[in-house]
Amino acid sequence: MLEVIDLHVRYGAINALRGATLSVERGELVAVVGPNGAGKSTLLMTIAGAVSSARGEIRFLGREIGRSSPEERVRQGIALVPERRRIFTSLTVAENLRIGMSARRDRAGAIRQRDELLTMFPILGERYASPAGQLSGGEQQQLAIARSLLTKPELLLVDEPSLGLAPRLVAQVLGTLVELRDQGTTILLVEQNALKALAVANRAYVLNRGEIREHRATSESGTAASLFDTYFGLPASPRPEGQP
Ligand code: ATP
């Protein structure tokens, strides 16, 4: 569904992405993990069209979209759930959802989907007429995801949904992404919380200082060790008993 090939992004003298290459197949939940400043948000914003690349290709459903506007990419089926949620806090939950629905031509389908989402995220139904700013961080994250889903995306890009959330809510939000994947939404998730993201992803990449590699865990128990090796570019070496 998505192919990113040798993508380079610069902010002045900073090389935020240095030849990023990755792919996402239809129906997958793919994670990109990496530390602060690795280039994760830049990668998603470039795929969504909010940031321009200096070089490289972005192919979505077989078409090169690297020069399309962000609006065209939304129309083609790409939706971004941005970092720190970026919902409209002074608008109600209902109004935030209506923004997601505004580009839809199939009004009846959009209303039906909104009602399904209110069943999936009951708190949004309970707080429907309240300002979104009164929701907790995890609830705002649910609203941001629901709003993006209302654009009826083929591919959902999710930027650090765990940021600022208590561990219980992180599990809930990541569980929601798994549920959406199981219902057929293709998801590209970027996360600093690497082990949590790896636990839910079909496949993963590690991004560090603008460079990306596919992460291949050899076994369940080897996950933490091999992730560490991919992060720091060390060879997968045996570790003494009991050491992570
Ligand atoms: P975090 O997990 O901290 O959000 P990230 O992996 O999402 O980090 P990016 O936000 O993509 O990383 O940043 C990648 C690099 O590009 C960093 O060095 C950052 O300081 C720099 N950068 C990001 N946005 C800009 C900008 N608008 N102008 C200049 N430099 C930027």
Q: How far, in Å, from the CA of 191 to the mean position of ligand 1?
A: 14
Residue 240 has a pLDDT of 46
In the sheet that holds 55-60, the strands lie side by side as: 14-24, 2-11, 55-60, 63-64
* Side-chain-facing half-sphere of 59: CA atoms under 13 Å: 12
Render pLDDT for 193-203 as a digit per residue (tens, 0 to 9). Answer: 888 898 899 99
- How far, in Å, is the centroid of ligand 1 from the Cα of 57? 20
Q: Is the pLDDT of residue 230 over 90?
A: no
| Total count of residues recorded for the chain | 244
Q: Distance from the CA of 198 to the center of ligand 1, in angstroms? A: 22
pTM of the model: 0.87
Q: Whose CA is nearest to atom 30 of ligand 1?
A: 11
The residue whose CA is least distant from atom 25 of ligand 1 is 11
pLDDT tens digits for range 174-188? 988 998 899 899 999
Output the pLDDT for position 103: 77
For a mutational test of ligand 1's pocket, the pick from 11, 205, 208, i.e. the residue with the most ligand atoms closer than 8 A to its C-beta, is: 11
